[in-house]
Amino acid sequence: MTRLLRKRGGFYCDLEELSLHLLEDIRAYKRNDPAARSAIEVVLLYNGLHATIDYRIAHWFYRHRCFFIARAISQWSKMWTGIEIHPGARIGRRFFIDHGMGVVIGETTYIGDDVLIYQGVTLGGTGKEHGKRHPTLEDNVIVGAGAKVLGNLRIGKNSRIGAGSVVVDNVPDDCTVVGIPGRIVHQRIMVDGQLMHNRMPDPVKCQLNRLNYEVQEIKEQLNITTSGRTDC
């Protein structure tokens, strides 16, 4: 049967790959969510998985130039799940959306394997430009709740985007980004591949502390200068 399908112009030849991706997605949800008690619960009750399955099917139609059907599936999925994934986006294996509500993924987004995103995340553009206009997330990236990654930029492998961050520049591999606009924290704040928000340094606070230190140094220098003039 598989051989017959492959002979028919390739229209059905990737159904096996589609089913494999769906099974891997289900296992990823079961593995990554400690609240999941069974695969049946995940399949029937998780809106993030429902949106992912709908995307896989819509993307299959999109790849075969059935654009209207693809968009119809994605729009129905948005109304049903509260998650909007454009069927033109390219998403790798074992994709996991935790909680899910309010997630938006644009048309030219590229997402690698083993990526985790939380609720309220936007992977969007910055205007009405054509061509590649949405982010690229490499393998094993985590994007925290409410974060916005905007424009044609790259988030490197194993990088983490803190909750509520707004990222508009490229991020190298193995970095953690926090703040608005997003600033790179030059250390990895992870335990078993998870974001540890309670242990992330605040880049604004760090900058203020640095400025305060510099002000104190200037004050000390001024005091020394004033004392020297008084002695004279």
Judge whether 130 and 111 are in contact, CB under 8 Å: no
* Whether residues 37 and 127 fall in one domain: yes
Number of domains in the chain: 2
Residues 227, 151 share a domain:
no
What's residue 231's pLDDT? 52
Residues 88, 187 within the same domain: yes
- 160 and 220, same structural domain? no
Please tell me the least confidently modeled range out of 85-94, 203-212, 214-223: 203-212
For residue 58, the one-letter residue type is A
Within 8 A by CB and 6+ apart from 78, the residues are 84
Question: How many CB atoms lie under 10 A from the CB of residue 57?
Answer: 18
Q: What is the pLDDT of residues 14-48, one digit of tens each?
A: 777 777 888 888 888 888 888 878 888 888 888 88
In this structure, the answer to whether residues 211 and 196 fall within a common structural domain is no
**Does one domain contain both 104 and 165?**
yes
Determine the pLDDT at residue 33: 82
pLDDT at 10 over 70: no
Q: What is the CATH number of the domain that holds 150?
A: 2.160.10.10
Q: What is the pTM of this model?
A: 0.74
* Mean pLDDT of the residues in the chain: 82
Task: State whether 123 and 229 are in the same domain.
Answer: no
Structural contact between residues 167 and 137, judged by C-beta atoms closer than 8 angstroms: no
Give the domain extent around 30.
Answer: 2-201
- Residue 232: pLDDT band (50, 70, 90) is very low
